[in-house]
Amino acid sequence: MMEKIAILIGIISVVTACYTSALIGWVILGVAATSLLVTYFIFRIRRWKNIPELSPEANKRLRKYGHLYNIPSEDDDISDTTDIIAWAGVILAVIGCFKAFWWGIAVGVANYAIMEYLSGSFSWSKHILEYRDLTAHEEILNYLERKREEEQEKRDAAAREHQKAA
């Protein structure tokens, strides 16, 4: 869903840049890029502490890439969305050249660099490079799954107690 919204925003910004001003196109795209940056910083706020049940390699990975474990189902969507915004910025930079908006080149390079950094930050595949990374990743996922199951069992037990009391 996020990718479709990014495509729509990219098309709107490119069409706006073609028919009005490249600056307005950049403003539209800038709002989307800023929202992705804010999303990144919000997800980076949570710091994972050392978990004794995990190996040192898994703890290191969790501290470094903890934001990916906070949103396991959205990582590829956000990564793809940042790629779309990056390429829309490249198109806007080219349009800006034809309209003598030379600042668009600098803005386009900055946009591309930031969005590609975010894309890599939200992509699992770019961070699992070796077998030990995969092993640590699977260890973390198994730990988180166990924790979710334990929490669900506690909620179920509390619900049963509540039903008995009623």
CA distance 36 to 34: 5
Q: Domains in the chain: how many in total? A: 1
Domain that holds residue 12: 2-165
Greater pLDDT, 92 or 129: 92
Radius of gyration of the chain (CA): 21
Judged against a pLDDT cut of 90, whether residue 64 lies above it is answered with no
Q: What is the mean pLDDT of residues 133-143?
A: 85
Query: Is residue 126 over pLDDT 80?
Result: no
pLDDT tens for each residue of 71-101: 766 777 888 899 999 999 999 999 999 988 8
pTM confidence score: 0.74
